[in-house]
Amino acid sequence: MNFFSDEELVCPCCGELIFDAQFRQDLNAARTYAQIPFNINSGYRCRKHNAEIGGSETSSHPKGCAADIEATNSRQRFRVIFGLLMAGLTRIGIRKTFIHVDDDREKDQEVCWL
């Protein structure tokens, strides 16, 4: 089952969609494990849009292997993180209103940051 539409993942700036197929499949698996909806706040970002919103120059969003998943309370955060870990996704950033996850193999794995 594919939980995520292209519209959720495209760059809002240019409408382009470059998204790693394996990462998308892993997000679907994470959603199944979490047993809650995943609302994607940010998927693919072109370099221009990433810079405009203050994204890191080393962001994985322009590579198409990162997503920010809405999580506004402790229960949502727990379920999202549980699902991500069960799906084998191990690069996780925790923010007040979302969980960042990426599968950037050029970066350190098994990390979690605030």
Q: What is the pLDDT of residues 64-91, one digit of tens each?
A: 999 999 999 999 999 999 999 999 999 9
Q: What is the pLDDT of residues 14-47, one digit of tens each?
A: 999 999 999 999 999 999 999 999 999 999 999 9
Let me know: does 90 contact 38? Beta carbons within 8 Å. no
CATH of 6-113, one of 1.25.40.10, 1.10.3470.10, 3.30.1380.10, 2.40.40.20: 3.30.1380.10
Please check the confidence at residue 101 and state whether its pLDDT lies above 70.
yes
Distance CA 77, CA 66 (A): 17
pTM above 0.85, yes or no: yes
Domain range annotation of the chain:
6-113
